[in-house]
Structure 1
Amino acid sequence: MTKLSILDLVRVTEGTDARTAMDNARDLAAHAESWDYNRIWVAEHHNMAGIASAATSLVVSHMAAGSKKIRVGAGGIMLPNHAPIVIAEQFGTLERLYPGRIDLGLGRAPGTDQITVRALRTTHEDAERFPQDVMELQAFFKPVQPGQRVQAVPAAGTNVPLWILGSSHFGAMLAAELGLPYAFASHFAPAHLMAALEIYRSRFKPSEQLDKPYAMVGVNIIAADTDAEAQRLSTTQKMSFANLLRGTRSFSQPPIDNIDDYWTPAEKAQAQNMLARSIVGSPETVSKGIDALVSETGADELIIVSDVYDHNARLRSFELIASTQN
């Protein structure tokens, strides 16, 4: 049976606030472990009022403190925004607090717009150093070596597992070269999924962390008791994609009856390309969709986004998704 995990967007909805979004993420983590999800991740985004996970390591800690066994981590940290030693210190601390439960997924995108990139003091050259920064970060998690003058306290010796995230061929090649697990972001960039998986698997080199390829596929899944209700719930995410295309950073909006009243034909076409791998429907529909996706991709694990406006409806969506695999 393919493992199921969660990528939580830590959405701030209309009528709520960032604290509510973070508490909802914590609550989801607690429920998710009772439904046997393998891990739950949050991602680094900046200058987005509708996403409350900019201080990613703090949100990870909040979620881990509210759960007992589920793996919790970043999916991911945008490493060019940070010095590797700082991320090692943060996630080494998390591993000391919650031993055996912390994951660290790494991406090279900024997680924001170009104006905010400048506010982060990040440059194009920082992204070009991504492979070297990944290896430097990896070294900080290993035991201190004789003569090592700089160490990330308390990270040394924690061996926090690293993942490479990607939406193109670059991440697949790097994950294969370093022998790391690979997560592909087909929940918003599905076009290169199959090619990236083939590159990763064919070029994989065993490492201390991993002896054979391990691929996780990101996918949007929204489940409800009926296909019609799930389709209605999915309009929240569709509006978010339309807003993204318009350059609007708004809060998560409640579902509507007819999404075609909201987006233009051009926005619909673009958004549907980005959402092409989505699975939306009743438990029966979702089960068939998951089986087809796993059969096509050979994924070792799926990491699921269920971008539903109401927290209780979102919990219900994840509960129904989990039930399809039992």
Structure 2
Amino acid sequence: MERAKLEYNSEENRGKSLKQDLGLIINNPRYSDIKIICNDKKEIYSSRAILAARSEVFDGLLYNGMKESYENQIYLPTVNSTIMKIISEYIYTGSIKEPLTKDNIVEIFNAADYFQLLPLVDFIIETVKDELKVNYRNNYSPELLSKAVDTMILSEDNILLNMLIKAVSTTPLNTIEFGRLSIKALQYLLSCTHKKQKPFATPEYEVFRYSALLVSKEISNNTYKTLMELLPTLKELEKSIKVNNKWITNRQKVAKELAALVKFIDFRRIKEQIITDIIEPLEITPTVSIYRSYNSYCNNDTRGIPQLYNFKRYSYEIRSWSACIFVNASSELSDQ
């Protein structure tokens, strides 16, 4: 590797490729007139003129007539050095070699969006779209949505956020292992699909069940195990499974944490018998009738536009689904 780099640095090879020539000065103190201090306190060496020419945001930061215009360093509190190196590579060469993965794609998107690097934003979106279409095996959209709601400004105009919402909402919640989807992400998912005509794959009772179990899992294993016994699946209810009432440890804590999710659950879509026999005895929600408009039952037990299910009285059958996201390919992005 070093030999190849030395060979390219020779006078004979310089000037043949603008992309390769500019690649030589990325994070190179010899050609730097400004240091970018990232939120992990690490420094990235850069060129003030190149940054400003490629990004209006950097232009405003570095040539605003304020102290940043004269100092030889700038602090970026929202970007770490690993992501900034990738952004620098794109700014200098118009491409990125770093693979886009579930561990970095949200951060790279956030940084590209912040610095208004629109071609890079578009590239990420198109890459995710392609993966959603073709990859049926690895579904990382719950993890990405969890990370996104923690790091992004939650806006209906955020294209990546909307794609993740659609991917997770069309995945049956009971197929998403606990720990993959955060409570905050679930709340945002439910708020975005509550009383809206959007595709959704999970019957409302299963939404309540998943919400209660997710909350209890965060509180204690004993509470989680108890609720697992008290909240059978719809498929188990079809078999007339008998549920014995048990004391729920941390009942008040469960009710408190669950409140933020319950307000986005449409109890009109849950059968009256399930409410009276299963949900209300738990005493972890306010009186359910508060959440039911005039106690009227809605014939459709799934919100929005029901996806991928054959409906029965208390059960459903998963037919197929395709909600997946994992971008794990080396990304060469042509400058636009």
Query: Same-fold call, TM > 0.5?
Result: no
Q: Is the radius of gyration larger for structure 1 or structure 2?
A: 2
Structure 2-normalised TM-score? 0.28
TM-score for both structures, normalised by structure 1: 0.29
